[in-house]
Amino acid sequence: MTDWSKAGLYARAWVVSDMTGVGTGVTDRGLTSRKVGRLSGTAQVPGDKSISHRALMIAGITVGKTTITGLLEGDDVLATASALRAMGAKVEQLGGGVWRISGVGVGGLGEPAEPLDLGNAGTATRLLMGLVATHDFTSFFTGDASLSSRPMARVIKPLEAMGARIVARSGGRLPLAVIGTATPLPITYTLPVASAQVKSAILLAGLNTPGETTVIEPVLTRDHTELMLTHFGAEMRIEELAEGGRKITVIGHPELVPADIVVPADPSSAAFPMVAALIAPEGDIILSGVGTNPLRTGLIQTLIEMGAAITLENPRIEGGESVADLRVRSSALRGITVPAERAPSMIDEYPVLAVAAACATGRTTMLGLGELRVKESDRLAAMATGLAACGVKLSVEGDTLIVEGEGRPPLGGAMIATELDHRIAMSFLVLGTVTAEPVMVDDGSPIDTSFPGFAALMNGLGCRIGA
């Protein structure tokens, strides 16, 4: 067990001694969040990042033109658009979140002339690796320092079983080369860890592979790829397993047809204004058109168990995905135990859940957080260090985070090292809306990877986030 209270004291002392900016690591991209009293209003967060990536990729291998409305125009998704252009798809930005994609057909991608720079986009990297693995050309993948530290071995193994050859740095890290195969082999692959990205990479590779490619997932993960492939006309079989989980099969060499898409608002992005409203002294907001796919609503379920006043209004189906407007009001939260099996449905939301737990009454125990260690940063360590610096009592036991809430906001007043991680930055800016002392993050620029306009949207609801 790690004692984070002492680390937090050291961090606070370091910040207080360096508030002039010398030695704090503060850049001109740093942001500060200050205490507010009331949050209110209606807002729509940007489009779902997971769905946006997949919409671009699958539309890019249809035969014809697809219009995508509500596409997330963050850096990660723009990197996917750039990669598809480099391989021959016509990708046009029409304005207002509307894009038109002219696809090249299954198997029709061409060898990119330059390395594909994916910035900080882990989802784009893993899914595109699958897409190109069964094309007879070589492609090179690069990214920023954060992406280059993230492991790709879990994707490399099944793709090499299908015939691709992948040359990477130690630990399966970027930069790497995918040498696609001209004679791909269908496989049946059981996921060793719950990962929608690995599942999706295999299914995308299976599109240009003869026969049937099957993924068995013992634990359910987000199913956006299956839903979207069906939306575009792929032949799929999805079987529920008696022991739990699913068996997903894609039939190779389909002729995918254009199918317009409306991208719902991202539930992972909605998590930040949602938690801000819950912990505010007075909060009553509506978040419009948020995706409520049942494999993505773990945070909503968890917060409701903690006593959150969250209601789903006007539920509907858009583009094959369930959507609703979320009304969120200030609530007295209480600590609970969050089971490990819920992690796949909310893995990206644990940092902001930890913020909610810090303001709750009692102990919140979050189990099974191992995946947080291989995200844009080691999110488990980053959250523990930052929360302790803000005066929160907590401990880490293996892959479990335990937060001791005192029924009131912590003191705050810390400078948070974001480590190029957008969700760490946004989570601590949410915490700063209720702490007695402002909370600062050293670099807010990574936020644009998933939530462009974050500060403006939050300030429109009543927050005070700025340089």
Positions marked catalytic: 348
What sections of 208-358 are H helices per DSSP?
Answer: 224-231, 267-279, 298-305, 350-358
| Beta strand 31-34 pairing with 439-441 | antiparallel
**DSSP code for 437:** B
**DSSP code for 3:** E
User: What's the one-letter identity of residue 328?
Assistant: V
User: What's the one-letter identity of residue 234?
Assistant: A
What whole-number distance in Å separates Cα of residue 115 and Cα of residue 324?
A: 40
H helix count then E strand count, the chain: 13, 25
What whole-number distance in Å separates Cα of residue 46 and Cα of residue 48?
A: 7
User: What's the one-letter identity of residue 114?
Assistant: E
Q: Are 35 and 436 in contact (CB under 8 A)?
A: yes
**DSSP code for 35:** -
What whole-number distance in Å separates Cα of residue 358 and Cα of residue 352?
A: 10
Centroid of chain to Cα 462: 25
What whole-number distance in Å separates Cα of residue 381 and Cα of residue 373?
A: 8
Q: Are 402 and 423 in contact (CB under 8 A)?
A: no
Q: Are 47 and 224 in contact (CB under 8 A)?
A: no
Q: Counting beta carbons within 10 angstroms of the beta carbon of residue 183, is it exposed (0 to 12), middle (13 to 18) or buried (19 or more)?
A: exposed
Residue 20 is encoded by which pair of tokens?
């002039």
What whole-number distance in Å separates Cα of residue 295 and Cα of residue 221?
A: 6
Main-chain dihedrals φ then ψ at residue 111, nearest 5 degrees: -65, 125
- 195 contacts: CB under 8 Å, gap ≥ 6: 154, 221
- 396 contacts: CB under 8 Å, gap ≥ 6: 1, 2, 4, 380, 381, 384, 402
374: left (phi over 0), alpha (psi -120 to 50) or beta: alpha
What whole-number distance in Å separates Cα of residue 296 and Cα of residue 293?
A: 5
